[in-house]
Amino acid sequence: MNLTTLTDYALAIVTVALGVVLIRRAGDRPAVHLWGWAFVALALGGVLGGTWHGFPESFGAGTLAWIWRLNQWAIGLFGLCVIAATADLAFAGRARRTALVLAALAFLVYAAWTWDHPLFRTVLIWNLAVMVFVLSVHLTRLRRLPATPLILAGIATSAVAAGVQASGLALWALDHNDLFHLIQLAAMILLFAGARQLPAAPSTSPPDLPK
């Protein structure tokens, strides 16, 4: 078992624990439920990714291809749930339905593309698009929420993690994948701290505008 597998599994364990806490404490707050399931999906992706990295000799080529594909789809589901959670708070009525339909269609395109394109760069691009959406909505429609600064900090930390992964940077015994997982762990803690503070009632107009 290599360091990439260990850091992937560590990220998965922490993330699923945080996701379970969000789900159990969500109450009547759909956005918190969705963030919780997003964490669970990402944890599944971590387990699959760690298994792919750590035990290639234990599986045939076809099985390995499916493990990686499911890893990509699990990470895609994380993004879909996060978009849905953000849309649930920021929009209402037709706008909310439109946002959810477009997010679902985007996920289907992502899933179809990753069927035959296993490069992790595709995952990074998907996550970048998700985080840009969440960032823009929190800055424009949800900026008064106490959760917003923490979620923005989580997004910024996640962007740093993606940059390190794409750069190929290595530090001591840690390669770019190991560093990505460790920095992403900090991002997940920040996102959890923000998500647990999200309210139940949707915001149907930009909070900073007079009502």
Q: Tell me the pLDDT of the chain (211 aa) as tens digits.
A: 678 899 999 999 999 999 999 999 999 999 999 999 999 999 999 999 999 988 988 999 999 999 999 999 999 999 999 999 999 999 988 999 999 999 999 999 999 999 988 887 888 889 889 999 999 999 999 999 999 999 999 999 999 988 888 887 778 878 888 898 899 999 999 999 999 999 985 544 444 444 4
- Residue 63 in contact with residue 174, Cβ under 8 Å? no
The pTM of the full predicted model, rounded to 2 decimals, is 0.89
Asked if 180 and 159 count as a contact pair (C-beta separation under 8 A), the reply is no
Q: C-alpha distances in angstroms, 211 versus 91, 94, 137?
A: 16, 21, 19
